[in-house]
Amino acid sequence: MLDVYEVQGVSIVRMRHGRANALDVELCRALRDFFQDAVRDPPRSVVLTAEGGIFSAGVDLRRLLEGQSAYVRELLPGLHEMCDAVFSFPHPLVAAINGHAVAGGCILACMADHRIMAKGPGRIGLPELTVGVPFPPAPLEIMRFVLPSQHASRVIMGGAMHDAEEARASGLADEVAASEDLMDQAVDAALRLGAIHPATFSLTKLQLRAPALERMRAAHDVNIQQLVEEIWATPEAMQRIRAHVERTFGQKKAGGRKVGGKKK
């Protein structure tokens, strides 16, 4: 599920979980556990990437439809725990976005301190509202932290998918790399961040992220998280999710690979 190895003292974490690295309960737990353990035995820095041509397609909607409300009430708390562990990770984290980063996959990439996206067919974006489900508190606070104020509403509310250059212009990515250079650039970025005095880096990162962490934890502890879970678990939401899955996968089967409204 997670392959972990070192390059020049940098820990490379490569997701390898099905063709799309979809965020299900098991992958959320694996990511949570890795980053919680890494706090206790910290690496110099971490690069998060994925196997194949998809960084992550986000929440596994097909499994959610199979499990219905019971699975929703297991998945969303697990998603929150994963977000908390990755976003609060005090050491340098670089995302090497090797392909599509959709919805939860976009949010996962955006938890990194530095994001490098490969040129090519990959797209990144947040289609949650076009699917018809609200953001859980933690992902929403993460995106509010990451996105420049002039782009935040458009990216979050609009649901569009962006190529690498568009992602850099909107703040979803910091750098663009040729696919063959992606990992080299990611390791270089991780080494640059890892060269900063560890206590200085960790304290500065905490100071920057503390307000977002406080809001996302507070919202999880009160009825906002519960309200989100209730909306996701309704039969009406399941119908909207099913319609989205049928549109997306049906159009792919009809001829061409559909991502963000464009055939590839």
Count: domains in the chain: 1
The reported pLDDT for the residue numbered 188 is 98
Q: How far apart are the first and last CA of the chain?
A: 28
- Cβ neighbors of 55 (< 8 A, separation 6 or more) are 15, 21, 49, 95, 97, 98, 99, 100, 101, 105, 108, 109, 122, 124
CB 109, CB 86: distance < 8 Å: no
The reported pLDDT for the residue numbered 222 is 67
Residue 73 or 207, more confident: 207
In the chain, % of residues over pLDDT 70: 93
Quick: pLDDT tens for 176-220: 999 999 999 999 999 999 999 999 999 999 999 999 999 999 887
Question: 32-47 burial by CB neighbour count: b if 16+ within 10 A, else e?
Answer: bebbbebeeebbbbbb
Quick: pLDDT tens for 98-126: 999 999 999 999 999 999 999 999 999 99
The reported pLDDT for the residue numbered 225 is 80
Residue 258 has pLDDT above 70, yes or no: no
The reported pLDDT for the residue numbered 129 is 84
**CATH number of the domain that residue 38 is part of:** 3.90.226.10
DSSP the chain: -EEEEEETTEEEEEE-STTTT-B-HHHHHHHHHHHHHHHHS--S-EEEEESTTEEE--B-HHHHHHHHHHHHHHHHHHHHHHHHHHHT--S-EEEEE-SEEETHHHHHHHTSSEEEEESSS--EE--HHHHT-PPPHHHHHHHHHHS-HHHHHHHHHH--EE-HHHHHHHTS-SEEE-GGGHHHHHHHHHHHHHTS-HHHHHHHHHHHHHHHHHHHHHHHHSHHHHHHHHHHHSHHHHHHHHHHHHHHHHHHHTSS-EETTEE-
Average pLDDT over residues 36-46: 91
The reported pLDDT for the residue numbered 173 is 97
Quick: pLDDT tens for 165-179: 999 999 999 999 999
- In the predicted model, what is the mean pLDDT of the chain? 90
Torsion of CA 95, 92, 113, 8, to 10 degrees: -40
Average pLDDT over residues 53-79: 93
Residue 260 has pLDDT above 70, yes or no: no
Domain that holds residue 34: 2-263
Which token pair is 171? 């703040």
Residue 85 or 230, more confident: 85
Residue 51 has pLDDT above 60, yes or no: yes
Band of residue 85 on the pLDDT scale cut at 50, 70, 90? very high
The reported pLDDT for the residue numbered 261 is 41
The reported pLDDT for the residue numbered 134 is 86
Quick: pLDDT tens for 135-151: 889 999 999 999 988 88
Average pLDDT over residues 229-246: 90
